[in-house]
Amino acid sequence: MKGFHLTISSAENIFYQGEARFCKIQTQIGQLGIEKGHEPLMAILNFNSTIVYRTIKNEEKSILAESGLFDFRNNICTLTISTQEVNKLN
């Protein structure tokens, strides 16, 4: 495995599940960048923070999280987030 396994999900959706090279999160203790082999870590995401990740194909993607939890151990990264869908009314 060139990267680590990343899952970003909410109660309703799985936004990404697969191998990733990098993940950047904003937590209550600051901004963190995660790569393969990182020390085990759990954190609470900041409210309305952006999660940025790079897939194994070097595609950079991002998702806005209203709130969430982060867990990394044994090269498995799990982000359980809450998002709010905004519907535009015309």
Q: Looking at the domain assignment, is residue 30 inside a domain?
A: yes
Domain count across the chain: 1
Residues with Cβ < 8 Å from 83, sequence gap 6 or more?
10, 13, 63, 64, 65, 66
What range does the domain containing 39 cover?
4-11+21-71
Render pLDDT for 5-57 as a digit per residue (tens, 0 to 9): 999 999 989 999 999 999 999 998 899 999 999 999 999 999 999 999 999 99
Q: Looking at the domain assignment, is residue 90 inside a domain?
A: no
Q: Looking at the domain assignment, is residue 49 inside a domain?
A: yes
Q: Looking at the domain assignment, is residue 79 inside a domain?
A: no
3-state DSSP assignment of residue 22: strand
- Put simply, whether the predicted model's pTM sits higher than 0.75 gets the answer yes
pLDDT band at 83 (very low <50, low <70, confident <90, very high): confident
CATH assignment at residue 50: 2.60.15.10
Q: Looking at the domain assignment, is residue 77 inside a domain?
A: no
DSSP string, 27-77: ETTEEEEEETTPPPEEEEBPTTEEEEEEETT--EEEEEESEEEEEEETTEE
Q: Looking at the domain assignment, is residue 80 inside a domain?
A: no
Q: Looking at the domain assignment, is residue 33 inside a domain?
A: yes
Q: How confident is the model at residue 29, as a pLDDT?
A: 87
| Per-residue pLDDT at 67 exceeds 50 | yes
- Check residues 29 and 73 and name the one with the higher pLDDT: 73
pLDDT band at 84 (very low <50, low <70, confident <90, very high): low
